[in-house]
């Protein structure tokens, strides 16, 4: 997908693992950014091998980790409320990129039949201790077998984007729902921090989406974005990390101010730091619940 002759949008450093620098090229048609050069698929796992990669641990040692886990508990309840709202009769749930399994464990306690997919052996082992069952890959799963498929900050990581969306379509029941959460590079905090914006997270994030990009990508598979919801906590979390990348330390007061400002400015054009997309097959769109949960 990357045309290396295009002008670079930003040059961004990997602050988490390697310290290497990557370029972001812009796909004008889809209004999305693409990380370049993309690491070889066999080498990509090396960029996740760090204790700093917090989503693959249940760490609570540092103040930042404690804050992350506190916010995570609140967000988990909202996520389960969201799937319950769209599918009150429950059913089969697939979470791709299940991490340490907290979302699926909570969904199971709410009556869902759960399955996870997670490439990290470390995160997977933690989740299995919580009673979360896993499939080795999506390819072994039957077509049209899930009522809800979720990817919480995962779509930006997948090497083959169009193929992944086709696979989501294959696995989803005709009247099922896909729920995708991704960072939004059109947000105020992204524009404020620029190359220091933590949600670029290169090269783990291979794609960087706008609302237009998500709509077009799923439209190509005859699916429609039914609703867009904000993830307001992300503005604060991302700003806190961005402050560290920019200044060398976590300036809680400045990060809180920027996060607050980002959420305030997002009200006008709905350009929040991260967005949740509720997606359905085109023929089954416009069947949204009366009062979907927002965060």
Asked if residue 243 belongs to a domain, the reply is yes
The span from the CA of 120 to the CA of 165, in Å, is 21
DSSP states of the chain = ---TTSPEEEEEE-TTTT--EEEEEEETTTTEEEEESPPPTTTGGGGG-STT-GGG----SSHHHHHHHHHHHHHHHHHHHHHHHH-TT--EEEEET-TTSHHHHHHHHTT-EEEEE-S-HHHHHHHHTTT--B-S-GGGSPTT-EEEEEEES-GGG-S-HHHHHHHHHHHEEEEEEEEEEEEBTTSHHHHHHGGG-GGG-TTT--EEB-HHHHHHHHHTTTEEEEEEEE-THHHHHHHHHHHHHHHSS--HHHHHHHHHHHHHHHHHH---SEEEEEEEEGGG-S---SS----
- The confidence score (pLDDT) of residue 289 equals 62
Taken in order 245, 247, 249, 251, is the CA torsion positive or negative? negative
Residue 208: name the closest of 294, 270, 217 by CA: 217
The span from the CA of 142 to the CA of 145, in Å, is 6
Contact by Cβ (8 Å): 197, 243: no
Asked if residue 289 belongs to a domain, the reply is no
Least confident of 67-76, 78-87, 94-103: 67-76
pLDDT band, residue 115 (cuts 50/70/90): very high
Contact by Cβ (8 Å): 14, 203: yes
How big is the CA angle at 181 (ends 288 and 128), to the nearest 5 degrees? Answer: 105
Residue 135, Cβ neighbours under 10 Å: how many?
Answer: 14
pLDDT digits (tens, 9 = 90+) for 225-245: 999 999 999 999 999 999 999
pLDDT band, residue 294 (cuts 50/70/90): very low
Q: Rank 5-9, 66-70, 71-75, 168-172 by mean pLDDT and report only the highest.
A: 168-172
Mean pLDDT of the chain: 90
**């470390």: which residue's tokens?**
122
The span from the CA of 174 to the CA of 287, in Å, is 13
CATH number at residue 238: 3.40.50.150
User: Does residue 202 have a pLDDT over 90?
Assistant: yes
Asked if residue 166 belongs to a domain, the reply is yes
- The confidence score (pLDDT) of residue 49 equals 78
Q: What is the mean pLDDT of residues 235-257?
A: 95
pLDDT band, residue 293 (cuts 50/70/90): very low
Asked if residue 2 belongs to a domain, the reply is no
Q: Which residue has the higher pLDDT, 48 or 157?
A: 157
- The confidence score (pLDDT) of residue 55 equals 52
The span from the CA of 255 to the CA of 232, in Å, is 13
**What is the count of structural domains for the chain?**
1
The whole domain housing 67 covers 8-284
Asked if residue 170 belongs to a domain, the reply is yes
Asked if residue 1 belongs to a domain, the reply is no
Asked if residue 127 belongs to a domain, the reply is yes
Asked if residue 294 belongs to a domain, the reply is no
Q: What is the mean pLDDT of residues 101-127?
A: 96
- The confidence score (pLDDT) of residue 282 equals 84
- The confidence score (pLDDT) of residue 240 equals 93
In the chain, % of residues over pLDDT 70: 87
pLDDT digits (tens, 9 = 90+) for 38-63: 998 888 888 987 765 545 455 555 65
- The confidence score (pLDDT) of residue 62 equals 61
User: Does residue 290 have a pLDDT over 60?
Assistant: no
């Amino acid at each position: 997908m990357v045309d290396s002759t295009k002008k670079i949008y930003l040059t961004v450093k990997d602050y988490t693992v390697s310290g290497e620098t990557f370029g972001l090229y812009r796909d004008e048609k889809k209004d999305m950014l693409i990380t370049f050069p993309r690491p070889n698929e066999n080498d990509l796992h090396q960029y996740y091998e760090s204790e700093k990669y917090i989503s693959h641990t249940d760490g609570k040692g540092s103040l930042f980790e404690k804050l992350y886990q506190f916010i995570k508990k609140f967000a988990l309840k909202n996520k389960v409320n969201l799937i319950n709202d769209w599918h009150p009769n429950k059913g089969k749930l697939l979470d791709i990129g299940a991490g340490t399994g907290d979302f699926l464990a909570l969904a199971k306690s709410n009556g869902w039949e759960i399955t996870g997919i997670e490439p990290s052996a470390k995160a997977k082992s933690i989740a299995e201790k919580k009673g979360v069952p896993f499939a080795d890959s999506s390819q072994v799963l039957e077509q049209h077998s899930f009522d809800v498929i979720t990817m919480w900050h995962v779509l930006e990581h997948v090497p083959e984007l169009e193929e992944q969306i086709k696979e989501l379509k294959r696995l989803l029941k005709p009247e099922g729902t896909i729920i995708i959460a991704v960072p939004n590079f059109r947000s105020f905090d992204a524009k404020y921090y620029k190359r220091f914006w933590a949600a670029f997270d290169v090269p783990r994030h291979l794609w960087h989406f706008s609302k237009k990009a998500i709509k077009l990508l799923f439209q190509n598979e005859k699916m429609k974005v039914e609703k867009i919801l904000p993830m307001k906590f992300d503005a604060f979390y991302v700003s806190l990390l961005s402050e560290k990348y920019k200044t060398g330390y976590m300036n809680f007061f400045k990060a809180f101010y920027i996060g607050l400002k980002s959420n305030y400015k997002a009200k006008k054009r709905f350009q929040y730091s991260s967005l949740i997309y509720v997606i359905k097959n085109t023929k089954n769109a416009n069947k949204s619940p009366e009062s979907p949960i927002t965060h």
